[in-house]
Structure 1
């Protein structure tokens, strides 16, 4: 039945019953099933704005920002007075860093509900971000004369108080320091800012000299480990090291992006990973993820966490460092590892990746964007991304890319999987995700991949371990709060 036409009472009642089931699945955090049922309800009654709005928030929870935006827009089109639709559309736009579009919707909500304190607070917060972005753009016009955060800190001038009893190092980081750091942070103690800055400045120097696409040989008889998203789940990171051993020259690792955000121990995660990068620069590798970005950190918690545990200057320094993280790694010239996935066009080569200027905030399109944001799909060909950024690519796309670049398969992360990993596209596209029970609500396993010189992947899965009573998103922007169901 076409939108806008009258639906008979029987179908209206059927649709309401299906929506009620969808709401139950949503409350149980089974978002895929909730999306499926909301879709079924929409087919029965395509004129109900609430169905689209509810599917919108389920898509938001799955990080399908593009689909969430489309649903919220449809809800608003159906009912211009439906305030929840404007809320949802604002959230979807914020998730993609489109703050001006979010502000427009919050203006509508405040105009319709002038007494809504939550709406006014969100409007004012969004307005503040838009003004901040405009200011940053204005001062970036002559960026050559603007001091980088790394240039405005003198570590030698930072005093260490006598009462500080935590880890220290002098000229070079040591394995003993890293062991002490793991224990110190496990006990919810903060590394002194002097040593945090020393780690960050040291890592920046290393990464500036690195390449956009890093070649990683895996010698005969060795073991190599690839981990996916960690997302600030520090205690699960410690569990990976317990299960698989701490990084060393004999136990090299590649962490494949999204080290921070959402989880509320992101500072501990990133300092640990950067510390090991400094200690073992030729045996410890890190790829940039879509959450290693100023916009994402501003919304999803890392920026607020760094400000809370250290200061705003350090948050800016992290952003500077992200811009030098490699975008991909090639293992023994036969396996390409990137955070997101493949490209919106055929013919992209490894040389094309090598030539990308990575020293920037991730753009909305192009090779860099797609390396960070794209996802595989089961059907052949390509389709628009559910996230609203990047592309979705099928098994034929993966097969052509691997054939043209003499690769056996690709490894990527970026997506929650029930078992922590998924092998797709006839074995040529592997997803690994290392944050179990993601955000304390998904009940997924985490996983990591180990391999030797034959590059045959072996999968280890694991459950989440207990962590201190600090909820995920504890430092997230208030704009993401209060998005419930109708």
Structure 2
């Protein structure tokens, strides 16, 4: 702007103050809108951009946050909050060296700043791990050891947690390879009664199952995941009484997961569930959610499926709390086992040859087909580019073609991309998750793409509904929560009460996202 009137300056400050109030209420979308109005009136004030960066940071739109921080620093090179928030934005973008530079700048200005110091320690840890992987010539932070497939149950027998445990018992079988070496475990007597007792007598009383049991559950579930294709194929067309229910992100909100089963029915022979990624991180009961879903997988292997989300990955788990929660409740080794089991999870599903389900979005290579997705070798940490990563990270937008991701990872894809992919692959709709939708669900891209999010009142702050999509051929309900498909039921639900433990309560990251 060449000249800004006194009235515009005053109105811009008013918008900024209103935005600050919405930050306090944790309504970050509205806060960003108000900071944008302030910037439209006066784009010379550094704090307007650094405040909007905070609102973006809280919504995981790291690239937008980074852009605002850089503009704030351009306007005022002494805006330390902008350096701090840009450092955190780089962490969110997994650019740890760049994050370290900004965080060091913060600490030079504010020695002893606990949040910046802790974030710097996290960055240094990631950088050391990356150097180690390069030194040994491996992209796998686990090295050559697969803890799930080489589990030795005897190593857990000396743990006092097993001797003190008075909950439901499991009968475990040690597997061996052709050299008689330990090769994982299976559970021989899992039952609905065990799962119920584990939930009610252990988890809901704030207790943990023995580490030996947890390790066996992970090893057994991993074995089942590894047997599944990269893109699952599910169908209930020939079984009209059979329901397939799709849940979006649940993010460690254990009490809301229990409410899903209570409200919409348990996993059973004629009711299949597909959890579409991001069942860990953020919420402080991620271990309980993961162990429950894994037990159900062992009990009903053909009636519950788990797609991988972007939070079923090492970098996310180290930043957003799951690793620290595992270490607090169980052990580092248990986290390593979970991490490796996440590498075994499928990346998507096709249901009834009509619906493609994946966590994030469509690939940016327009020549990529469903057949190509089925060929992805998924048994690793997600790469930084390509279809594998985009299935976990990308988001739709209202435009056409492809655009830059507001997150900074993956890409934004328009309605024409969705329509073309569906037409080429003879599909009807795309179901995905990955983003909060205030109503729990949103039909987008002319109804051809549906976002479903199943963590109500996300992080105890968003006041959003949760949603679930039931695929019920011939039994759907049109116009229910935007539904335009006679084969779907789309239902929403509210959050339920839980113990007064805040999100990421066990996290040592201190990154403030």
- Taking structure 2 as the reference length, the TM-score comes to 0.89
Counterpart of 1:56? 53
Matched residue, 2:179: none
Give secondary structure in 2 for the equivalent of 1:110: helix
Aligned pair partner of 2:192 in 148, 169, 175: 175
CA deviation after TM superposition for structure 1 residue 315, in Å: 0.9
- Measure the CA separation in 2 of the matches of 1:246 and 1:99: 42
Q: In the alignment, which residue of structure 1 is the partner of 2:75?
A: 78
Distance (Å, rounded) in 2 between the aligned partners of 1:100 and 1:142: 18
Where does residue 337 of structure 1 map in the other structure?
Answer: 357
Tell me if 1:102 matches 2:102: no
In 2, the alpha carbon distance for the partners of 1:392 and 1:457 equals 26
Does residue 280 (structure 1) correspond to residue 280 (structure 2)? The answer is no
* Displacement after TM superposition at 1:140 (Å): 4.9
Number of residue-to-residue matches in the alignment: 479
Structure 1 residues 216 and 118: alpha-carbon distance in aligned structure 2, compared to 1, 3 A threshold = closer
Mapping 1:190-229, distance limit 5 Å: 190-218=208-236, 219-221=238-240, 222-229=242-249
Distance 1:161 1:287 in 2: 31
Whether the aligned pair in 2 keeps the contact of 1:377 and 1:394 (CA below 8 Å) is yes
Please, which moves more after superposition, 324-333 or 174-183? 174-183
Is 1:296 aligned to 2:316, yes or no? yes
Q: Is the 8 A contact 1:262 1:476 kept in 2?
A: no
Q: For the Cα contact (< 8 Å) 2:214–2:334, is it kept in 1?
A: no
Secondary structure of 2:148 counterpart: helix
Question: Which structure's relative contact order is higher, taking Cα pairs within 8 Å and 6+ residues apart?
Answer: 1
Contact (CA 8 Å) 2:149, 2:219: kept in 1 or not?
no
Q: Where does residue 68 of structure 1 map in the other structure?
A: 65
Residue 120 of structure 1, CA deviation:
3.6
How far off its partner does 1:389 sit?
0.9
Q: Distance in 1 between matches of 2:373 and 2:287?
A: 29
Tell me if 1:470 matches 2:501: yes
Give the Cα–Cα distance (whole angstroms) in 2 for the partners of residues 348 and 118 of structure 1. Answer: 43
Matching residue of 1:305: 325
Partner of 1:154: 152
Following superposition, the deviation at residue 186 of structure 1 comes to 1.9
Q: Contact (CA 8 Å) 1:224, 1:452: kept in 2 or not? A: yes
Query: In the TM superposition, what are the counterparts of 1:339-358 in structure 2 within 5 Å?
Result: 339-358=359-378
| Contact preservation (8 Å) 1:99, 1:126 | yes
Counterpart contact for 2:442–2:450, Cα < 8 Å: yes
C-alpha contact (below 8 Å) 1:298/1:477 kept by paired residues? no
Cα drift, residue 121 of structure 1: 4.2
CA contact (8 A) 2:466 2:495 kept: yes
The superposition leaves residues 206-227 of structure 1 with CA deviations (integer Å, 9 ceiling, x where unpaired) of 1122111111121331111111
Inter-partner Cα distance in structure 1 for 2:44 and 2:167:
61
> How much has 1:153 moved relative to structure 2?
3.2
RMSD: 1.9
SS at match of 2:409: coil
2: CA distance, partners of 1:125 / 1:260: 20
Residue 324 (structure 1) shift: 1.1
**1:18 & 1:398 partners in 2: Cα distance?**
37
Counterpart position of 2:465: 445
Alignment match, 1:460? 491
Question: Residue 150 of structure 1: SS of its match in structure 2?
Answer: coil
Is this contact kept in 2: 1:97–1:296, CA < 8 A?
Answer: no
Paired with 2:257 and 2:114, the residues of 1 have a C-alpha distance of 39
1:116 Cα deviation (Å)? 3.8
In structure 2, the partner of 1:187 is 205
Check whether the contact 1:267–1:305 (CA below 8 A) recurs between aligned residues: yes
**C-alpha distance in 2, partners of 1:28/1:429?**
31
Whole-angstrom distance in 1 between the partners of 2:138 and 2:119? 29
Q: Distance in 2 between matches of 1:151 and 1:137?
A: 24
TM-score (norm 1): 0.94
CA distance in 2, matches of 1:379, 1:124: 40
1:129-140 mapped onto 2 (5 Å cutoff): 129-140=126-137
Matches within 5 A, 1:373-392: 373-392=393-412
Write the deviation string for residues 277-329 of structure 1: whole angstroms up to 9, x where unpaired: 11111111110000001000001000000000011111111111111110000
**Which 10-residue stretch deviates more, 73-82 or 87-96?**
73-82
Change (3 A) 1:130 1:336: same
Cα gap change, 1:111 to 1:269, in 2 (>3 Å):
same
Distance change (3 Å), C-alpha of 1:213 and 1:116: closer
